[in-house]
Each structure stands twice: as structure tokens, then as C-alpha cells.
Structure 1
Amino acid sequence: MVEEASKSEQINFTEVWTTTWETPYIMRLALSAGIGGLLFGYNTGVIAGALLYIKEEFGEVDNKTWLQEIIVSMTVAGAIVGAAIGGWYNDKFGRRMSVLIADVLFLLGALVMVIAHAPWVIILGRLLVGFGVGMASMTSPLYISEMSPARIRGALVSTNGLLITGGQFLSYLINLAFVHTPGTWRWMLGVSAIPAIIQFCLMLTLPESPRWLYRNDRKAESRDILERIYPAEMVEAEIAALKESVRAETADEDIIGHTFSDKLRGALSNPVVRHGLAAGITVQVAQQFVGINTVMYYSPTILQFAGYASNKTAMALALITSGLNAVGSVVSMMFVDRYGRRKLMIISMFGIITCLVILAAVFNEASNHAPKIDKRDSRNFAKNATCPAFAPFTASRSPPSNWNCMKCLQYDCGFCSNGAQEYAPGACIVQSADMKALCHSKGRTFFKDGCPSKFGYLAIVFLGLYIIVYAPGMGTVPWIVNSEIYPLRYRGLAGGIAAVSNWMSNLVVSETFLTLTNAVGSSGTFLLFAGSSAVGLFFIWLLVPETKGLQFEEVEKLLEGGFRPSLLRPTTMENQVETP
């Protein structure tokens, strides 16, 4: 194992291209399955822009924060169910069939949202899409992993991560493209049907995973696929490794049984699976509690919090963060098989914590320096236009000093900025479509989610930096780790458990973000994420081993006795693979 680890240090990113150039079939498999990642990214990212226009069409959505959170998070709720069922379905019917079922769910969900006449229909469509996202989130990287040679497996699985972030970037482009088109959000949500149809057709022409086929006594088919993936001199060694792994697992199955409950009990009684789950669940939960999906689901809203009132401007700026996420995934592909999974995640977490703390400080300063309220402007803006909470102060000599734009918005009112100078005192008025139109007719800007701020550009800068440090590490590596850390016999089941933990964490974050910002402000919310990120960093250091360049069987041996970081490792364990 030590020898294998030293060899992996010599892996160069060009080897990926050399291997796939010599065997283009490998890249065809990876990209076809990776469309599931594209759909995953698109359907989770598109709501960030679509929500702005759904609020405009349905007043009840605009007025109810909890309804906005449900529309956003319902895909996540569906993904929990999809990931849970996906683990069993992968083991029972295979990886290829799971991808096909996910595509059907993507298509149905898109069609339901396009014809939605009420918020509950949008929620139903988001739920169906979520079922597909959950299955794709674990099946696509699993299929790619089992189709890839070990030395480039990490980079090829990263193509799934790249396509996830690419799908999110595409969703922002599509959002901008349909801003001035009748039906805006319907087009935004409906476009996802196209890649679902494309992937369905492609997967019909591709084979099942050779590992799954071998495990199900379809050895001739498995050999045929391996011969198309590996050089001739390596095929026999790969088949021998599969044979030994399946033999051991078959013996194990005879003891633990065949039903789901028996498998679950057997998995939890197996020390390799338990240690693998400790690592796999840790990285999946940590990935969500750094707050990434508040940025991906609500980035235009966050930028409106920072003072960019226009929907189009907020979406255009959000496109920058999404593009950086896609670039970061490319960086991950370049370094994950050279520098390792564990190291990339730890470096990534340090950068994330730093950016979150700075973002908390930026939003705190923006809140403290928000424009003051002009008493006369608020009183004389229009008949019955003054914010009800501020109205009593208009008759006093001067309003309380703590009344500024942020205070106005906290009472669900709107702020019409000063016409001459945006950062000067403005009017605190009733929040309604009529008042917004009247404010605009006076050549002024209407704010209802955030306030004019000289610090707004800093929010863009550090959101961008946050994405840059997140994407190459915590963005793609958790999925790579979970595709290679479990024994074959339990890979579908354990991968499903870890994926469910990811989506449950995602649900908690996405369902509470707007509520948190209302309760403790944007600054307090980012500070909470910084704290949860620090906890995640500790457990990654404590529980997650390095798996770069290792065969699946070698990963099992690494986990048999439980992983310990080098700082806590007894001297008798020095012969193990060195992990920082």
C-alpha cells in the first residue's frame, strides 16, 4: 500500500487525457453519465433566478417567506427520498437503469412546472425533479467510478462535479436569457427537459457497470466491458481482483442475509462499512453546513441583501459566482489525483471559514451604515404611503436614531432611495407594487430585500473568493470519497445513506436560510455557517482517510482497523499510508 501511495504522487493531469485519448470510450461513458450531474446542477441552481419572477406572478409567494423556502427546498426534500430509494435500486436493478429512471423523473417534473397555475403545482414539480436529483446525485458518480481505471478515477468522477457546477452556471445563463420573455420562470424551469431526453437516449446505448454485472453472475458481459476500458495486459488482473472481492462478499452475504434490513444490519456490523460511513457522512454533512447552497439557491437574493435591487443586475452578478464554481471544479480535476482528497478538503475548509467570517463583517458594516430615514420624505411621499411602523415618528421632532433603511425593511416596508444620492436619507414607505412603481416613476430605486450600500462590492468579491476556495475541495471531493470508500457489496446501500445525509443537511440549510436572515440578519447567518464549518473541519481531520490512487480493495484494508490522523496514530501504525 505504501508503494501504491508513492506511485500515485507521480500522477499527472495529462495522464487523464492520454488515457481517454487512447480509449475514448471511457470519456464517452463519463460524459454521458455526467449529464445526470448537469441536471442535478441545473435544477438546483435555476430556482435562484426563477424565484424572483415567481414572486412577481404570485403575490402570496412574495408575502410569505416560508412559501419561498418550500419552493426552493422541495427539490431537496424529494432528493432525500430519491437518494434513499436510489441506493436500493442501484443494487437491485443496476446503475444504468437508475440513471434512466432519474431522467424520466426530470422530464415529468419539468413538464408539471411549465403548466403550473398555482404555487402548489410548482411545489409538486419541484418534488418530482427532486426525486430525480436524489437518484442522480449518487448514481452518476458511482457509475463513472466503476467504469474508470483506478489511476484516473478521481479525475473522471470529478467530471460529474464539473457538470453539476456547469449545470448551475447554465441555469443562470438561461435565467438571464428569459428575463424579458413572456412566461419567464416557466421557460427557466422547463428547459431542464432537454438534457434529460438527451441523456435517456445516450444511456440506452451504454452498458451496465462491469462490477455490478460481475456481482450478478454476468461475467462474460463484465469481461467484455473491461476489455473496452483497460489495456489487454491489465484485464486479467482486474477480473482477478473482482473475483476475489465478490467471493468474499458472497460468503458474507450467506451469513447476513438478502433483505434490505438484513443488509443494513450487516453493513452496520461490518467495521469497514462503519468506518467508511463515518468518513462519508462527515464529508457530506460538512459540504452542506458550510452554507454553499444558500449561495447557489439564493445568490440573487443575497446580492439584493447587499444593495443590488434590480432582479436582472442581481442575476448577472450571481452568474459570476456560478462561473467561478465551474472553474473550481476544473481545478479539482487537475489536482485531486495528485495532491489527494483529504488535503484538498482541509485547505478548502480553512479558506471557507475565512471568507465566511469576512462576509459576516461586510454585512454587519453594511447594516450599520445603511441610509437614514428622511421623515419629511416618508410623510409626503404619497397619500397613505408611509410605513405604518414609522408613521408615529413622522409627527415627532426627529425620528429615533436607530431608524435606517434596515430597520424599515425589518417591518416589511420598502425603502425608496434618495433621488440625488442613493446613500443619502430616503423614504420608508408601504411595500406594494403601486409604491414600487411610484418610486421608479420618480427616478429612484425601490429596495425591499436589502439597502443601498457602499460595501456591496465587497460582498461580491468575498462571495467569489468563497466559491473559489469551496469548489476544488468541498465542492467535488465529498462525492469522490463516497464513490470509492465502501466495499462493493455495500456500495449502493452505504452511498445512499451518505447521499441522504447530504440532502437532509441541504434541506435544513435551504429551508431555514431566509428565516435565519430575518431573525439574526445576514451577518449573523454567515457567522453561524463559519462556526459549523469549523466543526466540520475538525471531523474531516479526525475521520477521513486519504484514498488517492488506491484500488477499492486497498481502501477496504485501510479502513479495517479504523482511520486515525498521523497526530493521533501510535508508532506501531507507521507502516500505514502516511496521511497528514
Structure 2
Amino acid sequence: MQSVEVWSLLTSGKGLYHFAMRGRLVDPYKRVASREHISSYGKEENPASVRLPREKPSWQRSLRHVIVASISSFLYGYHLGVVNETLESMSMELGFRGNTIAEGLVVSTCLGGAFIGSLFSGWIADGVGRRRAFQLCALPMIIGASMSATTNGLWGMLLGRLFVGTGMGLGPPVAALYVAEVSPAAVRGTFGSITQIATCFGLMGSLFIGIPAKEIVGWWRICFWVSAIPAAILAFFMEFCAESPHWLHKRGRSNEAEAEFEKLLGGIHVKHAMSELLRSDRGDETDMVKLSELLYGRHFKVMFIGSTLFALQQLSGINAVFYFSSTVFKSFGVPSALANTCVGICNLVGSILAMIMMDKLGRKVLLLGSFLGMAVSMGLQVIAASSLASGSGAMYLSVGGMLMFVFTFSLGAGPVPSLLMSEILPGRIRAKAFAICLAVHWVINFFVGLLFLRLLEQIGAQLLYTIFGAFCLVAVIFVKKNVVETKGKSLQEIEIALLPQEAT
């Protein structure tokens, strides 16, 4: 009878989370001396028999590692927004003012580089580890920023933006993986939101530092020089951060994985964390992941969910707001400094609220509310661009709709997709699959940045915002039907729960 009860607990999602078999209690402070001894968890003791410690892991231990990793997200946000205020003075000095294609290329070349960086991020993160991947992402950002700051022509700017983009593409997926793998399950959503807040600070920093660009000749060069400082800080401090225990375990370095768990969670939680790694270990070889397995194999469903989420995130038009908000607000006579300050504050406040609610309401609820709010916001923009509104009414609707759009985006559509994908992707394919999903993000981002101003001229704001709003509504339907809730579950629990469904 007891074995039946044990089996029912093991095969239920709730049981996996709360179950601790009435077996021999393992000394939580005893260090494992070899990989063979660690492997004996599966032989001498069932991994599920390792008791879950009564106290939850302290979030303070892993917080400092997450903060260092979030510098890459700060740089991502900074380089997304750095051309917003500086584009006019830069184009005048470099000789391409009024050429919308050239202006779009300054934005989109960076995104093209990000596509390349994100495409290889999984292989780099799995090959050299998460810490070294962060350091590698900092290098092209330092080189590219220096090139952009010293160029005297359009081509030099484009080449510098291409270098910066490769670092931008490498950083966010590695940050999402790293934060998910070093954070305690109870605060993983909160810590995942820290990267979004860092992105907000990066955007706000670039907007504020760019304000004097229209007044001071050559100030835009300072804006690029400044970005090299946090990139250097990231490369330096990552040397002292913990490596991902999940990556170490996959590489056969289980002793080091245990030592990193002790650093991140505390000694009392090491045995349970290691037992969970072994419980999800099906003996697969990490380096043997085939592209066909990701694109149309048993992992197709989770890949489809991730790629579609990232595509809908970009097709909502959010980055058009970040890239060209100054241009849009200027058409209504709103000072760009005031407009960008309001955009930055809305983005930051929404991200802080998302951090607070992520592990309380859950990922799915935030996504649904976020995309629905964005659709309503685009509706306000459509009304503002129509004949139904004019004068100050159109201005208030447009500005209010854009600020509401940024706020609702930062509540869910911004931070959740990266966090969710780092949670639902199985450990064996996590880095490479995440890279492919994020590559979709950068392709869409590239074309939005390249074509937004031209489409605004050709089809008008009313139709363009209608299209963006329609994609937001499609996202609501998609999330409702396809996204699963992951709050409070360990990565191993999520993997064990999802893989049988994928296999069938």
C-alpha cells in the first residue's frame, strides 16, 4: 500500500514538488568527493528520497550573481535607445540626414548583428560556459562602441553598430539562461524581472545622456564612448561570479556543480539540488542535439511556442516606440526630453510591478493582461490618428496611448517570454533552442526598425497601428491556448512534466 502511495505522489506534478520519501536522511553538509559518488544517488538512494530542506534557499546568495549578469541587459537597453536622441545630430554630421533608409540602417544594422550573435549564443554558452559567454559578449560591444564613437562616415557607423549588435545578441539569451539556472525556484520570476529592469535603466540612461546631443556638437560620440564602461565592468566582475551548476553537470563536472550550488543556495540545499539534476538526467549527450530534433522533432511544440511568443512580442510594435518615440512625439509638438522621460518612467514602473507580481500571479496571467492592454493602447493610437480626434485631443490620445503601451508591455510581454523559455526548454537543449527562438525575435526586430518610418510615410499611422493592435490580440489568443504556468516549480519539475507530453 505504501508503494502505491509513493508512486501516485511521484507521478503527480504536486507530488514531485512536495514529495520526500521516508528513507534514510542524508547529511546535507557532507561533500561529495567524486563524480562516481554523486552518481550513486541514483543507485544507493533514489534521487526522490533526498528530503527537501524545510527552509527555502536564501535569495541573497544568488542575487549578486544575477545583478552582474543583468549588466548585459543594461547594455542591451542602452544600445537599443542610444540612437533615439542622437540620430538627428549624428545624421547631420555624417551626411545622411533626411535619408530614411540610412537612418533605418543605423538602427537595423545593430539588430542584424544581434541576429548573428543570438544564433550562435547557444553553441557558445554550451561550449565555453555561461560566465565566459558573458565576457565574450562584452568584447564586441567595447570594440563596436569605440568604432561608432570615432567614425567620420556612415559605413564606419554601420560597422560599429554591427559589432555592438553581435554582443547584444549574445548577452540576453545567456542572461536568461544564467538567471534561470542560478536562481532559487521561489524567486526565479522575480530575478528574471531584474534583467528587464536593467534593460529599462539602460534605455533611460541612453535617453537621458542623449538629451544634450541636439545642443552640443559631437555629443553623440560621448554617448557611444560611455557604453564601453559597463561592458568592461561586466567582463571583469563575471570572473568572480558562479558558473551555472546545470552547465557544469552537463559537462561531467559534478564536483564543481555541487560547489557552485553550495555558493548559490547554501550547504543544506546542495543534496536536494543535485538530486533534482540527476532526476531529470536521461543520459542524453548535450553536444548531440540535432537541428532536426529542434525544428520538427519531439521538441517542436516548445520551440513553436517560444518562437511565436518572441515574434508576437516584436510584431506588437514595441521597439518602434523605443527607436522612434522622439520622432512621433515631435510631430505633436511634445519636447523629446519630456517624452522620453515619461517613456522611461512608464517602462521602469511597469517592470518593477512585474518583478513584484511575477511569482505571485504567474507568467501566463501577466502575459494575457499585458498583450490585452497593449491592444487597447494601440486602439487609442488609431483613434488619435483618425478624423474622430483633432488638435489637443489627438495629442492626448496619442501620447497617452503610447505611454500606456509601454507600461503594459513592461508588465508581461517584455520580461515573460525570455523567462518562460528558459524555464520550459529542457536542460539538454536549453541553450541552443533558446538561441534559435531568440533569432526569430531579432529578425522581426530588424525589419520593424528598418521599415517603421517608411511604413509610417506610406500607409499612415492609422493603418500601421491597427496592424500592431491586431498582432497584440492574436498574442492574447495564442497565450491563452498554448502557454503553461511555471511559477514556483523547479526547472527539473517543469522538464519532467513537459517531456512526456512532447514525446507523445
Secondary structure of the residue aligned to 1:248 is: coil
Q: Which residue number in structure 2 is paired with residue 361 of structure 1?
A: 383
Q: Which residue number in structure 1 is paired with residue 480 of structure 2?
A: 541
More deviation in 204-213 or 113-122?
Answer: 204-213
Show structure 1 runs of 5+ residues with no match: 8-17, 371-452, 564-580
Q: Which residue number in structure 2 is paired with residue 419 of structure 1?
A: none
Q: What is the TM-score with the length of structure 1 in the denominator?
A: 0.75
Q: CA deviation digits over 1:304-355, x for unaligned, max 9? A: 23334xxxx2233122112211111111111111111111101111111011
Instruction: Determine whether 1:109 maps to 2:144.
Output: yes
Contact 2:280 2:496 in 1 (8 A): no
Instruction: Determine whether 1:44 maps to 2:80.
Output: yes
Counting aligned pairs with the same residue, the percent is: 28
Report the Cα distance in structure 1 between the residues aligned to 2:456 and 2:296, rounded to whole angstroms.
42
Residue in structure 1 matching 2:107, options 61, 66, 72:
72
Report the Cα distance in structure 1 between the residues aligned to 2:150 and 2:352, rounded to whole angstroms.
36
Instruction: Determine whether 1:225 maps to 2:260.
Output: yes
Report the Cα distance in structure 2 between the residues aligned to 1:177 and 1:471, rounded to whole angstroms.
27
1:424-503 to structure 2, matched below 5 A, reads 455-503=394-442
Show structure 2 runs of 5+ residues with no match: 1-11, 19-54
State the 1:118 CA deviation. 0.5
State the 1:29 CA deviation. 0.2
State the 1:202 CA deviation. 0.4
In structure 1, what residue type is equivalent to 2:320? T
Contact 1:280 1:485 in 2 (8 A): no
State the 1:23 CA deviation. 5.3
Q: Which residue number in structure 2 is paired with residue 351 of structure 1?
A: 373
Report the Cα distance in structure 1 between the residues aligned to 2:165 and 2:227, rounded to whole angstroms.
13
Report the Cα distance in structure 2 between the residues aligned to 1:2 and 1:485, rounded to whole angstroms.
14
Computing the radius of gyration from Cα coordinates, the structure with the larger value is 1
Contact 2:17 2:489 in 1 (8 A): no
Secondary structure of the residue aligned to 2:378 is: helix
1:253-272 to structure 2, matched below 5 A, reads 258=287, 263-268=290-295, 270-271=297-298
1:108-507 to structure 2, matched below 5 A, reads 108-250=143-285, 258=287, 263-268=290-295, 270-271=297-298, 273-308=299-334, 313-365=335-387, 369=390, 455-507=394-446
Q: Which residue number in structure 1 is paired with residue 4 of structure 2?
A: none
1:13-92 to structure 2, matched below 5 A, reads 22=58, 24-59=60-95, 61-92=96-127
Report the Cα distance in structure 1 between the residues aligned to 2:456 and 2:170, rounded to whole angstroms.
31
CA, structure 1 residues 295+562, in 2 after alignment: closer, same or farther (shift >3 Å)? farther
Report the Cα distance in structure 2 between the residues aligned to 1:528 and 1:512, rounded to whole angstroms.
14
State the 1:178 CA deviation. 4.6
In structure 1, what residue type is equivalent to 2:75? L
Structure 1 stretches of 4+ with a deviation exceeding 4 A read 4-7
Report the Cα distance in structure 1 between the residues aligned to 2:16 and 2:151, rounded to whole angstroms.
54
State the 1:458 CA deviation. 2.8
CA, structure 1 residues 364+190, in 2 after alignment: closer, same or farther (shift >3 Å)? farther
Report the Cα distance in structure 2 between the residues aligned to 1:55 and 1:267, rounded to whole angstroms.
42
Q: CA RMSD in A?
A: 2.2
Secondary structure of the residue aligned to 2:429 is: helix
State the 1:208 CA deviation. 1.6
Contact 1:294 1:513 in 2 (8 A): yes
State the 1:235 CA deviation. 1.4
Report the Cα distance in structure 1 between the residues aligned to 2:16 and 2:350, rounded to whole angstroms.
25
Report the Cα distance in structure 2 between the residues aligned to 1:494 and 1:288, rounded to whole angstroms.
19
Q: CA deviation digits over 1:445-476, x for unaligned, max 9? A: xxxxxxxx663233222211111111111010
Report the Cα distance in structure 2 between the residues aligned to 1:533 and 1:504, rounded to whole angstroms.
18
